[in-house]
Structure 1
Amino acid sequence: MNPAALVEQAKGLANAGRLDDALTLLTPLAGRQDAPWQALSVQADLLKRAGRLEDSAATSRRLVAVRPQSVPARHNLASTLGDLGRAVDAETVCRETIAIGGDAPETWLVLARALQSQSRFAAAEEAYRQALSRRPGYVEVLRDLTQLIWMRDADIAAASAPLDAAIAAAPGDSGLRRIKARLLEYAGDADDAYRTLTTGSLDGPGELAAAQVCLTLDPRRALDHANRAATLAGQGVPAVMVTQAECLLALGRAEEALGPITVLRAREPLNQHVLAHQATAWRMLGDSRYERLYDYDAFVRPYRLETPPGWATLDAYLVDLAAALNGLHTLNTHPVGQSLRGGSQTTASLAQSDDPAIRAFFIAIDAPIRAYMTALGQGDDPLRARNTGRYRIKGSWSVRLRPHGFHADHIHSDGWLSSACHIELPAAVRGQGREGWLRFGASPGLLQLEAQHHVQPQPGTLVLFPSYMWHGTQPFGGEASRLTLAFDVVPD
């Protein structure tokens, strides 16, 4: 088969959902030293779609070397570097792209995100505005820009201003109202968020957003919105089905909720949200399968970190790690769409940090992760069935909670194992009221399902647990903050 036909066949396989087959077909051609640029371009895209970002970036670099004046090649490389958390490299390639004529708003967006990851917030804001000047109403840019302003200034009026201008220019755009509603919701005003959504007509995504924001206000009305979203979107849309299940659980109709949950479990067996809601339904019904899925004794495990090389004691190491992390907490309030309330979260991937203390952390956690996998063993349950004995880190961040801050109960949709490593803790965690403690099993929006398991934080202790397990923290008082470093693990 000639190279052009082979590339087209690989694209066809990928479009048919046969990504592995497409890569198997194309890899020998793309691996040749004289590979045609079309093969390299498609291979980089397929590898990215398969989640193999390092391989995709390497292929994109080869493509740039073959076609140095190609704007799409450089842009795609910058985008992948950004996804890998290599903010400095992503910025460099973005500027190279712009220098050769790549002035697309998408490139300015990648540049803005790279600058934000470096805590260069004023420059990031300017890059976001450059993207907007080239495409007013660019939804992804407006979402990221308004969140940056919110996290930096904790000023809902200032954060809303770019959105309000865009909504005034396009009052019928429900996507813009969805962004503003989500911002208002995470700023603590669910009622105003709902009013913002429902000031105009709602399409399918709008009905879904209304259901989600209304869930804690009026679950019966939320279910009506979710059902309308299903009608508009067509049956079988996973996000809609999950929300329908959430509404039914909030209404105490656990048996009905198992309908969409069971369908989704068969279709998406690794979906952590579906697993969490299945566990909630089983708990509400008194089903013994709940205890096997939420086996706290077996699945929630604390590990004391070993002192990394270069430090005399663990306490000395934690002092340096805390200083490095605190230096990254330059934002004033929590992001949109995350679990923390009353604190800040770092924006860059910590696994890519050059700081010696932060780099040492990712060496120190290797032994606990491997010990966890060994203790876990093999089995056919959703956690053990994925245990290959190999792993990679997917996402890493630090959270600094202020007094009275907390993590709302949540799960980690992109993980297999999740974590919390406690670095600096307020005195309140040593009291009898479980202030600042980790808690497990409390399902959000279901007050009758209280936490069943608690872990008292200790400085230098890493807690590992399944990503599908509901977890949060108790609020705490006093004057000191609570500093943690967290990451997700997926099988390799």
Structure 2
Amino acid sequence: MSAADDAIAQARALGGKGDLVSAEAVIRAALATQKKSAQLQTELAQIAAAQGRDDEAEKALRAALDADPLYPPAAYSLTQGLIGMGRVEEALAVITPLAEVAKPESAALALQGQALRALGRTEAALDALYTATRIDQADPSHQHNLALALEEAGLHPEATRAARAARARGLDRPETWLIEGRTLLAQDRLDEAETAFREALRRQPNFTPAHRELSLLTWMRSGDLAAATSELDKAIAASPGQPGLRVVRAKLLEYTGDARGAYECLREAPQGESEIEIQMAASQAAVAFDPAAALAHAETAVRLEPDHPLAISLLAEANLALGRPEAILAATDRLRALLPFNQHALALEATAWRLLGDPRNAQRNDYQSLVRTALVETPAGWSSREAWLADLTAALDRLQVMKGHPVGQSLRGGSQTNQNLQRSTDPAIRAFFQVIADPIMATMEAYGRLGDPVLSRNTGRYRLAGAWSVNLRPGGHHVDHLHPAGWLSSAFYVDLPPAVEGEGREGWLRFGKPGIASTPALEAEHWVKPEPGMLVLFPSYMWHGTQPFGGEARRLTMAFDVMPA
């Protein structure tokens, strides 16, 4: 046994007895004569981390890698720590040398894949994770991580297979069942998805993510709130100290029209690790009927985590409900300092300008220039646009399998597709993505490279971030909202009710009415009358919604977000 090995054995024996101070003294004594020992520096880092001295642990791990840049234990520990702190670029720089050796370990590739996933580099992450599974086919965690990346890439059948491969190799965890359920849901395999969520809960009865998915699936399949909350209520009764379950229930109540019930549910939640979640959810629920309470909850959330983007956004929203534009701007200044292109901040900032009569709002929300419409061309293979729209209608109807509207989305009184439409093999749906390319490019060209903080992101190239279809029943509508994860957003009209031709703008797209309460009340400023085959493109920060419509016919649309590439 080497001197370093002997010192580490002594230190671990002391640590096993809870004497970390003596353990550290042993390692430091050994380092006095072996300063370049990566092994000793890594052991010192573990002892420092166990005592909560994270800065010293990082310093020791970096010293270990200075001594041996390819020492796996140090590189793995440092990479995991940096990812946990959100310093993902640094983590990737640490792990990449080990992932690029001639014969890398699967663990190095798995960590590289994790870092790449966190940076949104999905294709590169998949390459690393697929290689990890080939190198070590027996390790189920590699299949689990691969399933996560495949799900993020929208490759849901492949993700399902990877999750099942992880289970077949012995990883019988609720998290793996959860991935399987989500990816089955995205394929409209609803019974199988429900089974997977229930299997996750069999393994961990208070597992909040699985309760969220099961309750939302039950609601969307049935439109029955009591059925959707049945299992959730049992879990809350059995685990009253788990606030996250109450947040899930409150969101269901809020999005089914019972904001006061949602708020009361949250007020009964115990304080604890999830306090900021409770405070933010309470602020969201209260803003429509008690703005002062909403403000108090948002202020508490910001005190708990001063740089939490959602908490700061809720602070701005509560001040909008109270009619305090200067306070809105103070919050949006903080938010934009953290996230310059945050769509919510841009919308709230412009709304405050509108309340103040500031001309900058008219520039930010120049509807005449920025809201662009176009009738798409007839795709190749169809004799007319009408013939293609008929086939597109039939294809989308086959995917509309839900009854209730999704929680967390803007639509009310309708349903939304689950599948990633960009992966569809249906000819009519695939043709959609061909005919929208020219209008998107024309819009970006028209926008140019203006000075606005969003339009300045225009690179002349784009990628789509999601694509979905909404089927609104008579009486349905989209509440006013924005797209926080987008750059440009869209609406495409497939099948429209006769009501859109009437005098009351029924079923029309409207812009400018905030999606939360405001004092004074602000109404829509711009409308677009839809017609079949029309594509509307606009900046994602713009408040938009639809006028409710009557009659007996439905309203079928498609939508997607555009991101600069």
Deviation digits for residues 421-464 of structure 1, max 9, x if unmatched? 11000011112211000001101213721111111111111111
- Counterpart CA distance in 1 for 2:460 and 2:70 is 41
Deviation at 1:209, TM superposition (A): 1.2
Correspondence for 1:70 among 139, 142, 147: 139
In the alignment, what sits opposite 1:209? 281
Deviation digits for residues 196-235 of structure 1, max 9, x if unmatched? 111244533212211110100111121122223333x143
In the alignment, what sits opposite 1:422? 493
Deviation at 1:31, TM superposition (A): 4.8
In the alignment, what sits opposite 1:281? 352
1:444-459 superposed matches below 5 A: 444=515, 445-446=517-518, 448-459=521-532
Correspondence for 1:106 among 159, 163, 175: 175
Q: How many residue pairs are counted as aligned between the two chains? A: 491
Correspondence for 2:394 among 305, 323, 348: 323
Aligned pair 1:366/2:473, yes or no? no
In the alignment, what sits opposite 2:461? 390
Aligned pair 1:438/2:516, yes or no? no
Aligned pair 1:49/2:121, yes or no? no
Deviation at 1:487, TM superposition (A): 0.6
In the alignment, what sits opposite 2:294? 222
In the alignment, what sits opposite 2:70? 2
The letter of the residue matching 2:398 is G
- Counterpart CA distance in 1 for 2:241 and 2:447 is 52
Higher relative contact order (CA 8 A, sep 6+): 1
Correspondence for 1:246 among 317, 330, 335: 317
The letter of the residue matching 1:60 is L
For structure 1, list consecutive stretches of 5 or more residues without a partner in the other structure.
none
- Counterpart CA distance in 2 for 1:206 and 1:61 is 39
Q: What SS class does the counterpart of residue 233 from structure 2 fall into? A: helix
- Counterpart CA distance in 2 for 1:8 and 1:235 is 28
Aligned pair 1:461/2:538, yes or no? no
Query: Contact 2:307–2:338 at 8 Å: present in 1 too?
Result: no
Q: What SS class does the counterpart of residue 404 from structure 1 fall into? A: strand
Correspondence for 2:249 among 166, 180, 188: 180
Alpha carbons of structure 1 residues 374 and 193: separation in structure 2 relative to 1, 3 Å: same
Q: Which moved more, 1:6-15 or 1:306-315?
A: 6-15
Alpha carbons of structure 1 residues 28 and 463: separation in structure 2 relative to 1, 3 Å: farther
Q: What SS class does the counterpart of residue 59 from structure 1 fall into? A: helix
Alpha carbons of structure 1 residues 434 and 31: separation in structure 2 relative to 1, 3 Å: farther
Q: What SS class does the counterpart of residue 327 from structure 1 fall into? A: helix
Aligned pair 1:58/2:131, yes or no? no
In the alignment, what sits opposite 1:40? 109
Q: What SS class does the counterpart of residue 399 from structure 2 fall into? A: coil
In the alignment, what sits opposite 2:328? 257
In the alignment, what sits opposite 1:353? 424
Aligned pair 1:487/2:556, yes or no? no
- Counterpart CA distance in 1 for 2:279 and 2:86 is 29
The letter of the residue matching 1:212 is Q
What root-mean-square deviation, in Å, do the aligned CA atoms of Structure 1 and Structure 2 show?
1.8
For structure 2, list consecutive stretches of 5 or more residues without a partner in the other structure.
1-68
In the alignment, what sits opposite 1:159? 228
Q: Which moved more, 1:4-13 or 1:429-438?
A: 4-13
Query: Contact 2:98–2:104 at 8 Å: present in 1 too?
Result: yes
- Counterpart CA distance in 1 for 2:268 and 2:431 is 51
- Per the normalisation by structure 1, the TM-score is 0.96
